[in-house]
Amino acid sequence: MIRSGGLAIEGRDEVGRAVAAFAFGKGDFADYLVREQSRASGCESVMTFDATLLKEAGFVRPSTRAVAP
C-alpha cells in the first residue's frame, strides 16, 4: 500500500522503515514511526519508559540528570 501511486504519504521512507520494524519488533507501529521520524530529524534516540522498547536500538530511558541550559 505504501508503494502504490494512489496515496500521498509524507515521509514515505520513514513509514516504510517503521512498518518493517513493526513486523519484526515487539513495539507498536506508532513507537517505530516516532523513532524513524525522530531519526530523520537528526535525533539519535527517543525516550521511553517501555521496558520492551528499551531493548531495541534507538530507544533510551529518560535521564534524571539535570540538563544545563
User: CB–CB of 22/9 below 8 Å?
Assistant: no
Residue 7, pLDDT score:
66
Closest CA to 23 of 2, 45, 44: 2
Q: What is the number of domains present in the chain?
A: 1
Residue 46 lies in a domain: yes
What single-letter amino acid sits at 37? Q
Residue 41 lies in a domain: yes
* Bigger pLDDT: 67 vs 21: 21
Residue 5 lies in a domain: no
User: What predicted TM-score, i.e. pTM, was given to this entire model?
Assistant: 0.78
3-state secondary structure of 5: coil
pLDDT digits (tens, 9 = 90+) for 4-60: 666 666 788 899 999 999 999 999 999 999 999 999 999 999 999 999 999 999 999
Structure confidence at residue 2 as a pLDDT band (50, 70, 90): low
Residue span of the structural domain in which 16 resides: 12-60
